[in-house]
Amino acid sequence: MTATAPTPRLDVTPRLEVQGLFRSFEGREVVRDVSFSIQAGQVTCLLGPSGCGKSTTLRMIAGVDMQDRGKIFVDGQLICDTVFRVPPERRAIGLMFQDFALFPHLSVADNVAFGLSDPAREKRARVEDLLARVHLAHHIDHFPHELSGGEQQRVALARALAPRPRILLMDEPFSGLDERLRDDIRDETLSLLKEEGTAVLLVTHEPQEAMRMADEILLMRGGRIVQGGAPYNLYNAPVDRAAAAFFSDIN
C-alpha cells in the first residue's frame, strides 16, 4: 500500500478584502458598494477618471477616513466596519502617495529605516538590501535634495516596503515624474513588489499604467466598480462605450 502524501492546502484567504463600501460627503455618494479582494503577490489597479472615488476608497482602507457602510478585512481578520476600527498604524498597511515626501532632514538610510523597530544591525541590513535592489546603494548617506525626482521616488518605495507591510496602497505614485522616467520606474517598482510578495492596490487615472502594472484592473466610474478583470480582458472586451473610450488612447 502506498502512503498518500497530505494534499497541500491552497491558501485562498485574501490579503485584503473589502465588502460593500459606501461613503458620502455632504449627502453625495462618492463611493458606492465597492467590493473586491487582493491576494498576496498580486497588483490590483483601481483605474478611473479624476473624481470617481479612487482616493476615497484607498483612504478608507488605510484607516484615515471611515466608510458609512461596509467591511474591510486583512488576512481574513476584520479591521474595520461601522462599529469596530483598528487604527491606521496597526493595520500592517504601507502607503505611498505622490505627495508623500521624504523627510528632508533625514539621510536616505534614515528615511528608509524610519518605520522600522528592528535592532540596529538588522535595521541596517534591511535598509542596505532595499537600497541595493532599487539601485541606490551609492546614495545611502545622501540627503533627499541631492537626489533626482525618480531617485527620491525609489527611496520612497524602499521606505514603504521596509517594514514588510501586508498590503501596500499607492495613490498615483508616479504622476509627479517626468514622462520619460515613468516606464522604467514602473517596471522597477513592479519587480520589487513581486519579489517582496506584497499585495498592492495601485490607484491611477492612466489606462497605460494599469495595463503595464496590473494583474487585475478594477474600472471605477461614479463611485462604482463597473468592470473588473485581467488587463487584456478589459481592453478587448470593454463593458460599454465609455469603458472602450477610456482605453482607446492606448496603443
C-alpha to C-alpha distance for 95 and 162, rounded to whole angstroms: 11
| 221 lies in the binding site for ligand ADP (CB under 6 A) | no
| 173 lies in the binding site for ligand ADP (CB under 6 A) | no
Q: SS3 for 52?
A: coil
Determine whether 47 is exposed, middle or buried from the number of CB atoms within 10 Å of its CB (0-12, 13-18, 19+): buried
| 55 lies in the binding site for ligand ADP (CB under 6 A) | yes
| 54 lies in the binding site for ligand ADP (CB under 6 A) | yes
Are 47 and 100 in contact by the 8 Å Cβ rule? The answer is: no
Q: C-alpha grid cell for residue 12? A: 485562498
C-alpha to C-alpha distance for 23 and 38, rounded to whole angstroms: 21
Q: SS3 for 8?
A: coil
| 53 lies in the binding site for ligand ADP (CB under 6 A) | yes
| 153 lies in the binding site for ligand ADP (CB under 6 A) | no
Q: How far is the CB of 54 from Mg ion (least distance, A)?
A: 5
Binder among 39, 55, 98, 107 for Mg ion (CB under 5 A) = 55
Binder among 44, 56, 152, 153 for ligand ADP (CB under 6 A) = 56
Q: Report the residue number, 37 or 55, with the smaller CB distance to ligand ADP.
A: 55
Residues near Mg ion (CB under 5 A) are 55
